[in-house]
Chains A and B, each alone.
Chain A
Amino acid sequence: MKHIQIHKLWPFGVAAIIAFAFLFVGGGNKASNDATYALVVPSFMGVAHAAPANAATEIIQNEAGMSAYFQATTPVTISSVRPVYQTIELETSEYILGSVALAGYPEDHAPHVYVHVDGWFLAYYLNTDPVAKIIDWNAYTASGDTIISTKLENVLAIVAGSAGVGIPGITHYDFRFPNATNMMLIAERAEGTGNNYFTVNIPTSFGVAERSWSLFDGGYCAFFQLNGTNLYDGCSPHNFGSISAAQMPPSTTHTIVIGHGTEDVGGIALVYTE
């Protein structure tokens, strides 16, 4: 008798369930994953995006990796810096953006340089370049292996010299890693035709955003080795590349060996958050 009563009521039950489901589920945007909760977007939209300060700074934000910059204490004229540019990508009465060649380096080592009449100078490599590319091994050798300088600093010196302004102090920044607070450059020279090495151990409390290597081979051929693995073994003078997180985990002593040529100098760059 009881079963017959349920059987007669089943259309009403199904209708109630459908109505219940529509009420609580139909208004949502159910995702394919059963564990996903739907987020319903209200009808109004967010704040519109305005244009950046100028076209050059927009380019810089989109393509720059590691950069170096300073502001001169006096205004500059664009015409005073234009002669040192190898290529000019943008030029207005307010600013100029292009590449400036560095003596002793091939064309693809020419940093991009932005100069504004307000006295701002900014040099950068592209965000596809590993950070270690900035190490200026020619300048390091010229200093008697005592001063590590960057190509970005040295190209800024060229442009500042052309503008006739002094450099009060240069600051670096990597547009790829906004949370990074520091960069470390480490240099090593291999004496004669032999090898030389150094070790580095990264604390686990540091957040390392980028690891990369660079090697200048002054004669014959050379190699760059990390923990027994060759990252480079060839005969071209200017070499650099990236090091993955798996290749250089923290809290481990890593050994970097360079050498084999007659004038090899190389090292690594680490961008990190303390």
Chain B
Amino acid sequence: MKRYIALIGCIVLLLAYSVFSLSADPTVIIVEHADLYETNALTDSPTLMGLLNAVADRMTLTYGDTVRHLSLAAVPPALSTLLNAVADRIRLTYGDRVRHLPLAVVPPALQTELDAIADRFVLQYPDDNRRFTLNYPLAIIGDTAPPTIVSTPQGSFTGSTARITWTTNEFTTYVLQYGASSGSYPNQVSSSLFNRQHTAVIPGLTGDLYYYRIISTDLSGNTSTSQEYVLEAEQTIFLPVILRP
């Protein structure tokens, strides 16, 4: 009795092993109820794979009715030379109309007139602007008093150029007359700008002593001539050094 039980157990275990081992291996082909079967092992064909690998890349076409293959050749040098000679151009796409206008240089006569246009404020986008001319109210002020110099003129020298500064009691222009002799003023410098603080620059002085006077004119046209002033060059003294033996 024990032998039958052991034999039956072994058969059950064998069947169970067969079922589980078949279901775990998907590569196994299960043939049932066939009268005959044949198995063949497949192996790589080096010759065929070599040929397949040698096939060049290609466009993959599917369902195309017709195909035409055109080889593109490099532009012949002669044609390339001509193409390179084509000028640059503005590229237009989809423009309805084009008009090309060559721009010429402004004729000299017109350019002369353009150059003669005075400088101006360049205004962009203001809503309005207004320009006024300014004029001194001569008749209202009624000034008949001549201007005066209220600070003694001071001078300084840089090389052969003298710089003289002074102050007037009102806005004036000036003419500064000067010369090497007292009472004689053959040379002059002047300014037509109205100022209270004045600076006159006299270049090219070679002497050590000059005499000058200042003629001032105010906005009302009143003129005054100053007294004579003296412009005297400073002397530099070099003291000798005496060495005792």
Contacts and interface: CB of A to CB of B under 8 A. Distances in A.
A148 B132 CA distance: 11
Contacts of B121: 184, 200-203, 206, 270
Size category, A interface: 35 or more
Nearest to A183: B132
A183 B131 contact: yes
Interface stretch (A17-25, A99-107, A218-226): A17-25
Interface string B151-187: 0111111100010100001110000000000000000
A214 interface: no
A228 interface: no
Contact of B135 (A42, A54, A171, A200): A171
Nearest to A66: B134
Interface in A85-119: 114, 116
Given A42-B230, A184-B121, A37 B224 contact: no
A156 interface: no
Interface of B: 118-137, 139-149, 152-158, 162, 164, 169-171, 193-194, 219, 224-235, 237, 239-240, 242-245
Contacts of B244: 3, 7
Contacts of B227: 41-42, 44-46
A53 B245 CA distance: 78
B140 A197 contact: no
A87 B211 CA distance: 53
Contacts, number: 205
B122 A200 contact: yes
A70 to B, nearest CB: 9
Interface of A: 3-4, 6-7, 10, 13, 17, 20-21, 24-25, 28, 30-31, 33-42, 44-54, 57, 60-61, 67, 69, 71, 114, 116, 120, 122, 140, 145-148, 171-174, 177-189, 197-203, 205-206, 253, 267, 270-271, 274
Contacts of A174: 134
B194 A178 contact: yes
